[in-house]
Amino acid sequence: MERSRLAQLLAGADEVRLLSRAALGTGVDYKVWPEAVETRRLVSIYERRERGTRRSGQPSLGFAEALDALRAYGGAELAIGFIDDRRRGGYYFQLFLDPEFGSVVACFGVKSTGSTGDLPDS
């Protein structure tokens, strides 16, 4: 997916979309996988991850709202992707798109608890 197309799909005024779109505009790493994943499976995986994130005190943005959106989504599958703004001290944004890549169904950000120097080189 082209960077400009993803930026269009992230249109919205909520903080997660504003920050993820701004990060994307700076040229950070991003990826959207072409294969769709079963929605039920994603909900289960990210419910566990949200609990772990909350328990560990790791800063996150929009995680609960993203889970609500995933649970409410009526489709059987979703595509996933990410925008990685951690090198700039920002968030790792997890993206969930409809399988036709026509909209971002949900998005949340998780902040790294370590220093940016701990990230592997790409």
Return averaged pLDDT per consecutive 10 residues of the chain, 122 residues in all: 97 94 97 97 97 95 97 98 97 98 98 57 38
Q: What is the chain's Cα-based Rg?
A: 14
pLDDT of residue 92: 98
For residue 73, how far is the Cα from the chain centroid?
16
Q: Report which of 11, 1, 7 is spatially closest to residue 33, judged by C-alpha positions.
A: 1
DSSP summary character for residue 19: H
pLDDT of residue 114: 62
pLDDT of residue 120: 39
pLDDT of residue 108: 98
**Helix, strand, coil share (%) of the chain residues, nearest 5:** 45, 30, 30
Residue 12 CA: distances (Å) to CA of 8, 16, 40, 104: 9, 9, 25, 10
pLDDT of residue 4: 96
